[in-house]
Structure 1
Amino acid sequence: MFDSKTNQREQKAEDLFSQDELEIRKYQIDISNQCVNKNSLVVLPTGLGKTIIAAMVAARTLENFPPKSKVIILAPTRPLIDQHYYVFLKYLKISEDLFSILTGKVAPKFRTELYHQNQILFYTPHTLRNDLSTKKYTLKDTCLIIFDEAHHASGDYPYTLIAEEYLSQTPDGNILALTASPGASKKKITELCQNLHIPVKNIHIRTRKDTDVKGYLKPMDIYKIGVDLTEIMKDSYEEIKKIIEIRLHYLSQLGFLEKKTSPLVESVIRKDLLNLNNTLINLINNSKTDDSRVYSAISITAQALILYHMIELIEQQGLDILLIYLEKVYIDARKKNSSKALKVLASEQALRRVYIELKKNERYNPENLIHPKFKILENIILKEFDRNSLSKILVFVKLRDSVINIVEKLSKYNSIRPTRFVGQTTRTKNDKGLSQKEQISILERFKQGDYNVLVSTNVGEEGLDIAECDLVVFYDVVSSEIRLIQRKGRTARHRKGKVIILYCKGTNDETYLYIALNKLKKMNVNLKNPSSLQKNRNNPSSQKNSHPLEAPDEIIPQEKRKEKKESASQTKYGLNRFIYKGNGHRKDFEVSALLPMGLGIRKELEKEGISFQTADSPIHLVLFEKIAIQIYNAKRLRTNGNDILFAFWNSIKNQYKLIIFIVTFFTFENKFEGENRLLRKTLHKSHDEMQFELITIDTIEELYFIIKNIYSHNK
């Protein structure tokens, strides 16, 4: 006889998760408990321990599934993967021999072997997507996939494909998505949830203001400092706007711009031109038009986009950076493969006048070319080091030219030890990329204090273990609330921090700042109100994939519909035979940790709102402590099927009032003609001789239908 008390699972959550050197916080326990057996999205500010929550969920999930089930952790970059690896290794009591990091650096032929040999697997998304696309292995043994930096799950980013493939292979599989910044709009948030198959009711969010996390975050002071354009900046700014206006007017005359206000440059934004460019390219690709107006419009739009970039350089970076860009335009325009747009702009006399004026100032008054924001930045940094010589400062800048420029100018001060921090791509011999090894080395030296100012492009916004910073400066503004959150998250984790945002008054720079701040407020409101997200959710697929237990009926009154369903189920499967009314206190539904994940029963129960407990038992399903249901794949019963059923029935017959065997023929393929029919007949014969019920089924929908109805009949 099977004794569930002696047949304990090999792995228990308390045995799997180590609390040594860790103060587990109540919100971490609350959130992790709510994520077990449910696809969930966790939104937490940086520094509140999302990875700890992920490790706790992993331990609990492993407890609920067959031994040796796998957990996969995905993150966009190798440094992030390394961070997760060490956290999971520290807190999961699983042998390091069962941990493996699988990135593009591991040859494909070895990845298959490593996947099968290991239990806790860390991937970069593109690596796993490539392996799934080439069918190197399946995810049928994976009980949980953790998607870190989950806001990437849009468009053709691998997260979307991986989630789709995973749940198609493993219907009972679980998804845990982690991010500090899922997006502001309801549309973005619901799209993220749809792409990762997460019900919006399973969003778990905390903000810095929530009482249960407030005590774990240090104060963060945020300051916004605006500067005015200098006179020479205004001159260049206005001159380039005039050049843009000519292009926009031409596009309007061709009929490609809807906006008619004058001047057009005040109402047409860069995004409008990007959309127009896509429209024009689609016109050529789809209709194969020979309309010369379309080709002219494409060139004019390209010119306007280059000019808008120049405007942005003036607003955000300074005339010295604009001068570098103009010189590049003139050099590139002389190349054989140069675009028509560049050649036209290089011959534009008004633009040439701007260039000559900047060159003159570079020679005689170079200070005129420096953006007034730099003077503010300089003063901020010097004051911070006067206050605390051990401070660490992170300066975010969009462009690599500006990174070089700022590092060079700050280096003249003895108290400032700046370094550039950029991505891996090499642009020129003076602007070389940093390998991951070099990036990690720089971050370590920053942590140790060899450098005290890190001037970084967006590569420092996520995916790297940057030391706690006392001050974060946004040298330029980002309109994305996601990037705003990530930049802010680099300070005020373990000690008080400060964020200073520099912007240019009366320009798009100021507009972008308030767009980002408003998006941030909107995001927190939307996440705290999942019911509004549910209303907003436009999900045609949810109608297409209607729940298999809720197949549409003809229009019949509710009470008649119930009678019809009960009657149909009893007629087809004889479910009236399976009614057993127990008495007293009972556990309504127990699911064995050994129940195969591929059946999807756990997820179907969750969708139906049927709560269940996970049991350490060889019996797949136990209802009301009296009904035992065991599910067999017909292929397993090909040989000695009756003996297998009899042995199992004999071991539990004294424990349960009703024993039901369900045999699935979903994937059964005849080895000889009529084998399917013969096996069913043989199995039903044993059922007649012993006191158990046997049902043979051909589809997964039948399985869900039977389980639900046995449950509802006995409830």
Structure 2
Amino acid sequence: MSHSQENMLPLKIKSTYLHEDKIEPRKYQVDIALQCIAKNSLVVIPTGLGKTIIAILVAAKTLEISPPSSKVIIMAPTRPLINQHYETFLQFFTIPEDQYAILTGKISPDDRPKEFRSHKMLFFTPQTLRNDLVSGNYLLDNTSLLIFDEAHHASGDYPYTMIADLYETQNPDGTILGLTASPGSSQQAINDLCLNLHIPSNNIHIRKRKDVDVKGYIKPMDIYKIGVNLTSLMEDVRKVLYMILEERLRYLSQLGFLKVHTDKLYEKIIRKDLLELNRKLLAIIQGDGEKTGAYKSLSINAQGLILYHMLELVEQQGLDVLLKYLEKLQKDAHKKNSSKANRILATDPRIRRIDLELRKHYEFEPNSLLHPKLKVLKSVLSDEFSKNPESKILVFVKLRASVKNIVKKLESSQTIRPVRFVGQATKSDDDKGLSQKKQIEILDKFKQGIFNVLVSTNVGEEGLDIAECDLVIFYDVVASEIRLIQRKGRTARHREGRVIILYCRNTNDEVYLQIAMNKLKRMQRNLQNPQTKKKSEFSRFTVKKGSELEKEVKGRTQKKQFNLVDFVNTQEQENHTKVLEQEKEGDIILNSNLDMKYGLRKNLNAASIEFLVKQSEYSLVVFEKILIQIIDPRESNKSELLKFYEEWKTKFELVVLVIDFIEFKETFLDENRLLKQKFVDFGKNKNIQIVTIDTLEELFFLVKNVFDYNTQRSERGM
């Protein structure tokens, strides 16, 4: 077999929109993509298994069944990731580059509508698209596919949620595709994600590392956990901070704002509890009710949050990082706009003693302030480079201040060539962000081996084209299973990889690690075989039998000239997945120019009715013998209509003219009713089957009933 034959795309996924000689999709990618066409879907597969290729296949097939002028929108949370998608789509699609546009906040809002209308392939940051849609700069009625990369962000007030809502309203036939490696640990989180993106829960397509069709593409990944102990100095500082924190918690408890009663409140109350209390106290202060103790409690609560941050620095980052924070606290306390909480803590004699003690150690014994994890990190890196000098290592760190600190400490080694990698925002003069250009430059140098250790904040977790890493190190632990998955995904793509998690024993670090691992296990359980679960309550693409909608549509339609009673199918169709096969004629043929407002592509797919989309003079044809032609009431000339009807009658056993009044706007009083009556009379006089429709649901109801009736007749041999 020749190389060109080996690389040929499967027949079902062939597309004029794809460079067949450039793309080599894997079987599982094709299988998943075919199940996502014309159906809102969520794809959950491990990082490195090619979610973008699946998106490309779905985009190509979606464009084939959509009007020629339709668009595809690809969204991702960051500009670098958007640029990455732009390059990938451009590489594999046959669509010329002048049809591509990147629309981010960098493009003027005044220029974006023109850019949107003049391009076919659009790459957005979600905030930009949401802002334009809210401003009414353009609609999504001509967008056939909306791709949400890193779809797990679709929660709360993140733009993904509003965009999905607007899209469903503006384009009934549009398709949503969500991509993620980590949808969330709980069943509720997964359900919420699907609900926010309007994805039926039986349209989740999952692959895990151990699945037969993907495991051959994933290299082994070993995960190691290395625990360290706090130093005696760290223990002493922590005890004092807990003592100060306990006083604040007890005050809040005595006023009834904290419902926990125990000897050591700091063992039961976590930072999240104080964040929630902060919201409640603000609501009390802004409300009309009793405010006794609320103002002081708000300040006490703020002090508690600062103390929790200090404790986190001690346990996770080191006393040297805490010292820098205390210096900033003292400096901020002297500013005019300083908060009361800042001033109180900065002048607390115990905090000042900690500050003085740490300063002494910094002057005479600076290494005593370093976190024990740093020593382990250096040892692990040195050992790795002694065995494999060409290794590339990614170190994830929670705080930007620690990134800078760790890079500085590692630079003294001859074999370790570290580089700082953070986001674009500038925090201070000492902590400047990296421009997108600088980020790309650093990643290129990392790939080339100029740097061999990338010390990164969470900006390196999602999607960025970071070189394959031999080793990923978590310098600190995050309780989020989503971030755990994103970090792990930076290794073991094309060769064996390792993950090392550093944590501090008998601290919240250890607790967070256990929480993250448990959440990860729960997520794997909750993602088992969603297709076998009970049909989701938000599967809303069919007119349900017996529903008020069916009764209303059926009642209105039966009163019209075309009698549908013979076409009603009393049996519900099961919602099986059927593949759109290009080489096979469908039961229904749709005109590729058919307006997406009707939602027919998605509704037919949801009803498991096979259809083919192609250029045609007819709106849609059922079983090659029934024509359903959609007519604009304002553009129809009766003499031409009669001429066409006489021609159509010779080709089809039944011709139904559907007069579309869905968006009809009257130019004079009662025009709608009078025009409908003219069409009805015209049909009666000429023996033409005419149906006027006022809602989108009526058209699908008509098509489905015609299809069901003729299917039954065929089965009975009539």
| TM-score (normalizing by structure 1) | 0.91
Find the residue that maps to 1:472 and give its secondary structure: strand
Gaps of 5+ in 2: 1-12, 570-583, 712-718
What corresponds to 1:699 in structure 2?
695
Distance 1:125 1:644, change over 3 A: farther
Find the residue that maps to 2:155 and give its secondary structure: coil
Distance 1:451 1:546, change over 3 A: closer
Equivalent residue runs for 1:353-372 within 5 Å: 353-372=353-372
Q: Does 1:36 align with 2:24?
A: no
CA distance in 2, matches of 1:586, 1:23: 26
Counterpart code for 1:512: Y
What corresponds to 1:623 in structure 2?
622
Q: Is the 2:71–2:122 contact (alpha carbons within 8 Å) kept by the matching residues of 1?
A: yes
What corresponds to 1:557 in structure 2?
none
Distance 1:23 1:605, change over 3 A: closer
Equivalent residue runs for 1:189-208 within 5 Å: 189-208=190-209
What corresponds to 2:309 in structure 1?
309
Distance 1:691 1:387, change over 3 A: farther
What corresponds to 1:262 in structure 2?
263
CA distance in 2, matches of 1:279, 1:93: 55
Q: Is the 1:171–1:597 contact (alpha carbons within 8 Å) kept by the matching residues of 2?
A: yes
Distance 1:521 1:532, change over 3 A: farther
What corresponds to 1:511 in structure 2?
511
The RMSD of aligned alpha carbons is 2.6
Find the residue that maps to 2:15 and give its secondary structure: helix
Distance 1:651 1:175, change over 3 A: farther
CA distance in 1, matches of 2:46, 2:422: 24
CA distance in 2, matches of 1:514, 1:695: 63
Distance 1:93 1:336, change over 3 A: same
Q: Is the 1:594–1:618 contact (alpha carbons within 8 Å) kept by the matching residues of 2?
A: no
Equivalent residue runs for 1:329-408 within 5 Å: 329-408=329-408
Q: Is the 1:549–1:701 contact (alpha carbons within 8 Å) kept by the matching residues of 2?
A: no
Find the residue that maps to 1:241 and give its secondary structure: helix
Deviations 1:100-139 (A, max 9, x none): 1111222222222221211111111111111111111111
What corresponds to 2:71 in structure 1?
70
The offset of 1:586, in angstroms, is 9.5
What corresponds to 1:464 in structure 2?
464
Q: Is the 1:40–1:204 contact (alpha carbons within 8 Å) kept by the matching residues of 2?
A: yes
Find the residue that maps to 2:444 and give its secondary structure: helix
Q: Is the 2:182–2:486 contact (alpha carbons within 8 Å) kept by the matching residues of 1?
A: yes
2:652 equivalent among 647, 653, 656:
656
Find the residue that maps to 1:287 and give its secondary structure: coil
Distance 1:65 1:586, change over 3 A: closer
Distance 1:714 1:567, change over 3 A: farther
Distance 1:220 1:67, change over 3 A: same
What corresponds to 1:174 in structure 2?
175
Deviations 1:507-558 (A, max 9, x none): 11001011111111111211224279768x7x7xx59x8965546469xxxx
Equivalent residue runs for 1:170-319 within 5 Å: 170-287=171-288, 289-291=290-292, 293-319=293-319
Q: Is the 1:13–1:62 contact (alpha carbons within 8 Å) kept by the matching residues of 2?
A: no
What corresponds to 2:481 in structure 1?
481
1:675 equivalent among 654, 667, 671:
671
CA distance in 2, matches of 1:302, 1:130: 33
CA distance in 2, matches of 1:409, 1:546: 58
What corresponds to 2:492 in structure 1?
492
Find the residue that maps to 1:440 and give its secondary structure: helix
Find the residue that maps to 1:76 and give its secondary structure: coil
Find the residue that maps to 1:156 and give its secondary structure: coil
What corresponds to 1:558 in structure 2?
none
CA distance in 1, matches of 2:181, 2:568: 49
The offset of 1:349, in angstroms, is 1.6
Distance 1:15 1:337, change over 3 A: same
The offset of 1:469, in angstroms, is 1.0
Counterpart code for 1:452: N
Aligned pair count? 685
Find the residue that maps to 2:110 and give its secondary structure: helix
Q: Does 1:125 align with 2:126?
A: yes
The offset of 1:620, in angstroms, is 2.4
Distance 1:87 1:646, change over 3 A: farther
CA distance in 1, matches of 2:104, 2:649: 50
Q: Is the 1:40–1:198 contact (alpha carbons within 8 Å) kept by the matching residues of 2?
A: yes
Equivalent residue runs for 1:567-606 within 5 Å: 570=558, 574-575=562-563, 588-606=587-605
Counterpart code for 1:99: Y
CA distance in 2, matches of 1:643, 1:67: 30
Q: Does 1:632 align with 2:631?
A: yes
Find the residue that maps to 1:575 and give its secondary structure: coil
Counterpart code for 1:356: L
Distance 1:549 1:591, change over 3 A: farther
Deviations 1:544-603 (A, max 9, x none): x8965546469xxxxxx99x998986555552587699xxx9954333332210012233
Counterpart code for 1:676: N
Q: Is the 2:553–2:697 contact (alpha carbons within 8 Å) kept by the matching residues of 1?
A: no
Find the residue that maps to 2:62 and give its secondary structure: helix
Identity of aligned residues (%): 54
Counterpart code for 2:136: K
Q: Is the 2:22–2:92 contact (alpha carbons within 8 Å) kept by the matching residues of 1?
A: no
What corresponds to 1:8 in structure 2?
none
The offset of 1:702, in angstroms, is 3.0
Range with greater deviation from structure 2 (426-435 or 31-40): 426-435
Deviations 1:169-227 (A, max 9, x none): 11000011111111111111111111110001010111111111111111111111001
CA distance in 1, matches of 2:359, 2:291: 42
What corresponds to 1:144 in structure 2?
145
Find the residue that maps to 1:331 and give its secondary structure: helix
2:662 equivalent among 650, 661, 666:
666
CA distance in 2, matches of 1:532, 1:255: 48
Q: Is the 1:190–1:533 contact (alpha carbons within 8 Å) kept by the matching residues of 2?
A: no
